[in-house]
Amino acid sequence: MSGDASKTLSNDVLWGGGRSPFSVSYGKLMIWFFLVSDALTFSGLLVSYGFARHSLLPGVTWPVGEEVFSKVPGFSAHLPLMYVALMTFILIISSVTMVLAVEAGHRMDKKGVVKWLFLTIIGGLFFVSSQAFEWSHFIHGSHARVALADGRTAYLDENPEGDAKIDPATFAMHLGSVHGEEVSGPEAYKLFQNAVHVTYGANMTENEYGPTSYANFFFFITGFHGFHVFSGVVINFIVLMMVIRGVFQRRGHYEMVEKVGLYWHFVDLVWVFVFTFFYLV
Amino acid sequence: MERDDIIEYSLDAGHSEEEGRIIRKKILFVTILLSVITTCEVLLGVFWRNWMPGSWHWVKWTFIVLTLVKATYIVMSFMHLGDERRNIRSMILLPYALFLLYLIFIAIWEGNFIHETVTHFL
């Protein structure tokens, strides 16, 4: 079948503008298409999170971000949201170093691109390892939920570290909520020993902080985003190697840095929304 | 016939030392703005109960508006969408925004409806 390519078409039906309406290269247009589709995936996840939160059963409360995420590695104090704020800040700064790498590329400044791209990778690695800490904090939990034999709910004052056993001498728990009335001593420990069920931390089937779906959404959304950051770091690293080898200097332009930059900014953009809807609102 | 799909737009994307200085100044401004907004958000998230107790509704909408401001600056400035042609800007943003507004509306509306229903009739 002969297509349009083999026929000589009249210039009247061809577009004679000289420049395309978008005026961007094929690669840049395609990375934008990819980002839009990826943005739709993340929107779907966050919107379904909103749906789960708005359709709660009566009597069920959704966990509060600043109470769940209140630890900073190396500090034992209660520092709500501080570490996740630092993570957010680092990711924004790594986005800034990326845009500076793109700017240096536009000036054909190879040294500048190497410097800023390297700093971007460092920021990304810091973010991914911080997310590992957040996950381990979340999985380990802080106030185990105890279903007492008489039907009441209590929360441990503090979860035991690692494999440590609970010490009856310092045992304390709070009735009703994490801030509820404190009970301690041998009687409270006896109540605890006779408990129907104790939920330590969070996993895919139960969660000391509240509804199971909260933990599921947390693992899926931050995990999916964390994997994006991880693959972004890998791609940035590959491009950094190509920059160092002078591939783009020979090619005459640093558009590849711009394209991976778009992906990296997108990852930052998604985190801005995850931060708001998971930790703040 | 000139084919426009093989035009090397990429070679055209460079800029001079002088233009670079102006661009870097703009980047610095956006960096400071994003940092200040993030700091405000965190402080508001931690202290809103002390500052304005009982106004969670307003705090929540403040968060959402601040997030949208941040997102606008990231997309328009860092991703350079503000410097692209209006055609590509509209092609990316409008269908996405239209679909997403609908999705948010329908999911939150239905979520609230299910919550009301199980609260009153179960």
Interface test with B, best of A26, A54, A95, A98 (most B CBs within 10 A): A54
Tokens of A58: 């009566």
pLDDT at A60: 86
pLDDT for residue B122: 74
A275 vs chain B: nearest CA distance in angstroms?
A: 9
Statement: residue A150 has pLDDT above 50:
yes
Optimal mutation site among A88, A276, A277, interface B, most CBs of chain B within 10 A: A276
Alpha-carbon dihedral sign for residues A257, A260, A263, A267: negative
Say which residue, B46 or A15, is predicted with more confidence: B46
Distance CA A96, CA B27 (A): 7
**CB-based contact (8 Å) between A279 and chain B?**
yes
A9 has pLDDT over 90: no
Tell me whether residues A269 and B108 touch, CB distance under 8 A: no
pLDDT digits (tens, 9 = 90+) for B77-113: 999 998 888 889 999 999 999 999 999 999 999 999 9
CB half-sphere exposure, A134, CA atoms < 13 A: 28
**Which of the residue ranges A171-185, A192-206, B5-19, B95-109 has the most confident prediction, judged by mean pLDDT?**
B95-109
Element spanning B113, H or E: helix B86-121
Beta-bridged to residue A172, according to DSSP, are A184
Q: How many CB pairs under 8 A join A and B?
A: 166
Q: Is A163 helix (H, G, I), strand (E, B) or coil?
A: coil
Residue type, A61: T
**In sequence order, which residues have a C-beta less than 8 Å from that of residue A21 and are 6 or more positions away?**
B85, B87, B88
- Kindly tell me if the per-residue pLDDT of A151 is higher than 90: no
**Percent of chain A whose pLDDT exceeds 90:** 52
Pick A184 or B32 by higher pLDDT: B32
> Which residues of A are less than 8 Å from B68 in CB distance?
none
Can you state the percent helix, strand and coil of chain B, rounding each to 5?
85, 0, 15
pLDDT at A109 over 60: yes
Return the H-helix or E-strand segment holding A184: strand A182-184
> Considering only CB atoms, which chain A residues are within 8 Å of B10?
25, 253, 255
Q: Is the pLDDT of residue A8 over 80?
A: no
Q: Is residue B74's pLDDT more than 50?
A: yes
β-strand pairing of A172-175 with A153-156: antiparallel
Over range A148-165, report the average pLDDT. 82
The CATH architecture annotation of domain A25-35+68-142+211-280 reads: Up-down Bundle (1.20)
Distance from B92 to chain A by nearest Cα, in Å? 7
pLDDT of residue A58: 85
Query: Any idea where the domains of chain B sit in the sequence?
Result: 19-83, 85-122
Cα–Cα distances (Å) from A60 to A191, A209, A275, B56, in that order, read: 24, 11, 23, 18
Q: Where are the domains of chain A?
A: 25-35+68-142+211-280, 145-199
Which tens digits make up the pLDDT trace of B22-65?
999 999 999 999 999 999 999 988 888 888 777 888 999 999 99
For residues A257-275, average pLDDT: 96
Summarize pLDDT for A58-72 with one digit per residue, the tens: 888 888 887 888 888
Please state which of the ranges A72-76, A128-132, A193-197 shows the lowest mean pLDDT.
A72-76
- pLDDT recorded at residue A229: 97
Of B14, B32, B29, nearest to A103 (Cα)?
Answer: B14
Angstrom distances, CA of residue B93 to CA of A30, A183, A264, B81, B101: 15, 56, 18, 10, 12
Model confidence at B1: pLDDT above 70: no
Query: A106 vs B119: CB contact, 8 Å cut-off?
Result: no
Looking at chain A from residue 117 to 156, which residues have their Cβ under 8 Å from any Cβ of chain B? none
> What whole-number distance in Å separates Cα of residue A142 and Cα of residue B76?
41
Residue B2, pLDDT > 80, answer no
pLDDT value at residue A6: 53
- CB-based burial of residue A243 (10 Å sphere; 0-12 exposed, 13-18 middle, 19+ buried)? buried
ipTM of the complex: 0.90
What is the pLDDT of chain A when averaged over all its residues?
88
Compute the nearest-CA separation of B53 from chain A (Å).
Answer: 15
